[in-house]
Chains A and B, each alone.
Chain A
Amino acid sequence: MRVSDMILLAFANLRRTKLRTFLTTLGVVIGIGALTSMVSFGTGMQKNITDALAANDLFTSITVTPKEINLHEIASGNVAQMANALKQESIPLTDSLLREIRNIPGVKIAYPNLEFPARAVLLGDSATTRVQAMPAAMGTFKPFDDLLAGNFFTNDTARQIILREEFLQRLKIRLQDNNSDAWLSKEDSVQGFKLVHPDSLINKTLRLVSLSMNASKIPGVISNIIRNKPEMPFDETINEMKIVGITRRTSEFGRNAFNGGVLIPIETSQKIPQLSFSSVWDLLGSKNSGDEYGSIQVRVENMQQIDPVAEHLRNMNVGVFSIIDQLDEIKRVFLILNSLLGAVGAIALIVAGLGIINTMVMSILERQREIGIMKAIGGSEKEIRMIFFTEVSVIGIIGALFGLVLGWLVTQVATVVVNTQILPDGMEPVNLFYFPAWLIVGAILFAIIISLAAGLYPAARAARIDPVRALRHD
């Protein structure tokens, strides 16, 4: 018997018991739908994170610290190990070391991570934020090569500022979208939000109010507290900065190259009086004096340069951290997550497999005489077995295809629900699910394998039927 005839015969047989076939196939559809939607959630999360890292060029980034910091030890919460880490000898990150780093083959750019807290005042509203500093040369690197509005800094000493779109929310500014009719909700109006076109903010002046320690005010602090007139020992400096650019929204996943609220040129930053203990590295005690940096950011030419440059840096006895080192760990975590999600989906599919066994056994009991007739007119055991196998394969394939559609629909609904919740908070719309080709092919194959496994016993039972007895069967 030809394969095409076998398939046509299987369809004809399944058509005879439409409701039963539909319900059995529905079991596979739900199983595959559950499996694919769950695994696509895991793969979606993984993709969002790796895409966010790639969008920020973090796969070619290295952070240099004064000493090797074992994040695992810190994360473990082991006080002794943390203390031990702090006791390690640190290498001061000075300008001369920075120059040395810039000369390492493969390094494209290296700059100190400088940031300080400040208050930004724009269009009558103000908000505190972290000010990050960067060289103007970073304008050619992701994500700064593609701004929402304006351009990157012209030079390292300009009194220019770049705003992060997310930070504008805190200044009660909603940006007008060129492609849609953005509008302010009633709630926004009550809260005093303004609807502004991004281009109209370019060249506007933003007042950046920074704080700096005034040692002469410290003795007066205690007496002021006693007199119930608390006053902190800080001076405020008002810096007028010209807005030159606004960055695009970044993914909520992963680590971003720019995670402060505003960005200013690196040399301008060094001239502004400031409190400089805002970075993690500073808190870990690695920064000793004003001439040293808490950490240095390095970008290499490509991912292949990460290892040799990192090796070079380790030979300089400084601490080295790169996302690439964490990538295997990220992959392992997601493998475990995907396995757990997949296992839950697989259970649904195995239950569907039991449904197939039940349907096929029932079908064989009902079709005993038909099997006897097929044997009497020349059907071999192999052909009878294959007819039943083809029937379960048809159930498996149709179930898998519709299951994929169901899984996709579920993920689309879930995405809409999630985005409906997060968009009012000013967050970037997310797609939490991802259907890679291997998931689609794998789900179809898995459904067919489960269906065939479920069909093994019924098909063998059908093939073994004694034709003489079957022909007498009513």
Chain B
Amino acid sequence: MKLIQISNLSRIYQKGKIIIPALQNIDLEIEAGQFVSIVGKSGSGKSTLLNLIGGLDRATAGKILFNGNDLHTMSRSGLAQHRKKSVGMIFQSFNLIQSRSALENVDLALTFGGVPRNRRKAIATGLLQKVGLGDRINHLPDELSGGETQRVAIARALANKPTVLLADEPTGNLDSETSKEIMELLVDLNKNQGITIILVSHDQESARQVSDWIVKLKDGSVDEIILREEAQCV
């Protein structure tokens, strides 16, 4: 089943008279339950594509059909609903609210999801336990290691049971050992819970190990699609 259908997608930024084509004529189809990686050099348009799928940004042209709904024509509140219910996002810089504890960061996502207060604490605690942070729920992000912080971000991203997890270089700020743990956690979520994962990475090698297929972007265009079998042969 096609979960995401991207056709002829372009995103052009304009600053004064300077026009920057971040993405040009992208065509992709992602099925539910797949683990897809988007790789490419810095500035190739990976994060832009992820932001468009996540509804954080709007395309200049083209279509993104998510479960058949066109994100390009969706209202702003519709996009907010998409971010709230359909996707969960994790970032290289974690993007936790520093003044809130691990539990409170997860709780905030549940609050936006409209979950009643009396159920939120149990759900948030359960999610943090699931990512291995059951004993650190009341710690502030500053009091956690990079890997732990990213785990909190993953727990937060899972709070409203998203269909897709969008991970924008989630291991970019982590050491290799911690990166491996995070990647294993993502694979586990994909394999055992069926969550579709779209991973943005500049590291094609680590992407190759976990992905069903890889999209390689170059200068805003799809340079190459590498299927799992091919990926594993590389």
Residues of A within 8 A of B (CB): 1-2, 4-5, 9, 12, 16, 369-370, 372-383, 467-468, 471
Please measure, in the bound complex, the distance between the C-alpha atom of A377 and the C-alpha atom of B51, giving whole angstroms. 12
A380 engages B54 (CB within 8 Å): no
B114 engages A380 (CB within 8 Å): no
- The residue that B56 contacts in the complex, of A2, A16, A467, with Cβ under 8 A, is A467
Task: Bits for B86-102, please: 1 = Cβ < 8 Å to A, else 0.
Answer: 00010100011101100
A5 engages B99 (CB within 8 Å): no
Please measure, in the bound complex, the distance between the C-alpha atom of A375 and the C-alpha atom of B89, giving whole angstroms. 11
Not counting A373-B96, A467-B56, a sample of 6 additional A-B residue pairs whose C-beta atoms are within 8 angstroms of each other reads A1-B111, A16-B99, A376-B89, A377-B109, A377-B112, A377-B157
A378 engages B117 (CB within 8 Å): no
- The residue that B156 contacts in the complex, of A5, A377, A467, A471, with Cβ under 8 A, is A377
A-B CB proximity, top 7 nearest: A378-B84, A380-B80, A378-B112, A377-B109, A378-B83, A467-B56, A5-B111
A and B contact pairs by CB, cutoff 8 A, 8 listed: A377-B83, A377-B108, A378-B85, A378-B113, A378-B160, A467-B56, A468-B51, A471-B95
Please measure, in the bound complex, the distance between the C-alpha atom of A330 and the C-alpha atom of B51, giving whole angstroms. 68
Please measure, in the bound complex, the distance between the C-alpha atom of A307 and the C-alpha atom of B108, giving whole angstroms. 68
- The residue that B81 contacts in the complex, of A5, A375, A380, A471, with Cβ under 8 A, is A380
A468 engages B57 (CB within 8 Å): yes
A369 engages B95 (CB within 8 Å): yes
Please measure, in the bound complex, the distance between the C-alpha atom of A401 and the C-alpha atom of B113, giving whole angstroms. 33
A378 engages B80 (CB within 8 Å): yes
Please measure, in the bound complex, the distance between the C-alpha atom of A383 and the C-alpha atom of B99, giving whole angstroms. 20
Q: Does B176 contact A (CB under 8 A)?
A: no
Please measure, in the bound complex, the distance between the C-alpha atom of A310 and the C-alpha atom of B76, giving whole angstroms. 70
Tell me which residues across on chain A come within 8 A of B114, comparing CB atoms.
Answer: 1-2
Number of interface residues of B (CB under 8 A): 30
Tell me which residues across on chain B come within 8 A of A380, comparing CB atoms.
Answer: 76-77, 80-81, 84
Tell me which residues across on chain B come within 8 A of A5, comparing CB atoms.
Answer: 111, 117
Tell me which residues across on chain B come within 8 A of A382, comparing CB atoms.
Answer: 77
Residues of B within 8 A of A (CB): 51, 54, 56-57, 76-77, 80-81, 83-85, 89, 91, 95-97, 99-100, 108-109, 111-114, 116-117, 156-157, 159-160
Separation in Å of the B150 CB from the closest CB of chain A? 14
A373 engages B97 (CB within 8 Å): yes
If A4-B117, A5-B117, A468-B57 touch, does A374 touch B76 (CB 8 Å cutoff)? no
Tell me which residues across on chain B come within 8 A of A381, comparing CB atoms.
Answer: 76-77, 80
Please measure, in the bound complex, the distance between the C-alpha atom of A186 and the C-alpha atom of B142, giving whole angstroms. 73
Separation in Å of the A6 CB from the closest CB of chain B? 9
Please measure, in the bound complex, the distance between the C-alpha atom of A369 and the C-alpha atom of B97, giving whole angstroms. 8
B97 engages A383 (CB within 8 Å): no
Tell me which residues across on chain A come within 8 A of B91, comparing CB atoms.
Answer: 471
Separation in Å of the B163 CB from the closest CB of chain A? 14
B83 engages A468 (CB within 8 Å): no
B56 engages A376 (CB within 8 Å): yes
Tell me which residues across on chain A come within 8 A of B96, comparing CB atoms.
Answer: 373
A379 engages B80 (CB within 8 Å): yes
Please measure, in the bound complex, the distance between the C-alpha atom of A9 and the C-alpha atom of B85, giving whole angstroms. 21
B56 engages A377 (CB within 8 Å): no
A375 engages B85 (CB within 8 Å): no
Interface centre among B51, B76, B80, B81 (most CB of A within 10 A): B80
Please measure, in the bound complex, the distance between the C-alpha atom of A438 and the C-alpha atom of B117, giving whole angstroms. 36
Please measure, in the bound complex, the distance between the C-alpha atom of A377 and the C-alpha atom of B77, giving whole angstroms. 13
Please measure, in the bound complex, the distance between the C-alpha atom of A12 and the C-alpha atom of B76, giving whole angstroms. 27
Tell me which residues across on chain B come within 8 A of A1, comparing CB atoms.
Answer: 111-112, 114
A375 engages B111 (CB within 8 Å): no
Please measure, in the bound complex, the distance between the C-alpha atom of A351 and the C-alpha atom of B138, giving whole angstroms. 40
- The residue that A374 contacts in the complex, of B99, B112, B113, with Cβ under 8 A, is B112
Separation in Å of the A292 CB from the closest CB of chain B? 84
Please measure, in the bound complex, the distance between the C-alpha atom of A382 and the C-alpha atom of B108, giving whole angstroms. 16
Separation in Å of the A381 CB from the closest CB of chain B? 6
Interface centre among A9, A374, A467 (most CB of B within 10 A): A467
Please measure, in the bound complex, the distance between the C-alpha atom of A43 and the C-alpha atom of B100, giving whole angstroms. 48
In the complex, the chain B residue whose C-beta lies closest to that of A8 is B117
Please measure, in the bound complex, the distance between the C-alpha atom of A377 and the C-alpha atom of B89, giving whole angstroms. 7
A375 engages B77 (CB within 8 Å): no
Please measure, in the bound complex, the distance between the C-alpha atom of A16 and the C-alpha atom of B104, giving whole angstroms. 14
B117 engages A379 (CB within 8 Å): no
In the complex, the chain A residue whose C-beta lies closest to that of B76 is A381
A376 engages B54 (CB within 8 Å): yes
Tell me which residues across on chain A come within 8 A of B109, comparing CB atoms.
Answer: 377-378
Separation in Å of the A13 CB from the closest CB of chain B? 9
Tell me which residues across on chain B come within 8 A of A16, comparing CB atoms.
Answer: 99
Please measure, in the bound complex, the distance between the C-alpha atom of A376 and the C-alpha atom of B84, giving whole angstroms. 8
In the complex, the chain A residue whose C-beta lies closest to that of B90 is A376
Please measure, in the bound complex, the distance between the C-alpha atom of A1 and the C-alpha atom of B116, giving whole angstroms. 9
- The residue that A376 contacts in the complex, of B81, B95, B111, B160, with Cβ under 8 A, is B95
Tell me which residues across on chain A come within 8 A of B89, comparing CB atoms.
Answer: 376-377
Tell me which residues across on chain B come within 8 A of A369, comparing CB atoms.
Answer: 95
A377 engages B117 (CB within 8 Å): no
Interface centre among A373, A381, A468 (most CB of B within 10 A): A373
- The residue that B112 contacts in the complex, of A4, A383, A467, A468, with Cβ under 8 A, is A383
Tell me which residues across on chain B come within 8 A of A471, comparing CB atoms.
Answer: 56, 91, 95
Please measure, in the bound complex, the distance between the C-alpha atom of A376 and the C-alpha atom of B114, giving whole angstroms. 15
Please measure, in the bound complex, the distance between the C-alpha atom of A378 and the C-alpha atom of B89, giving whole angstroms. 10
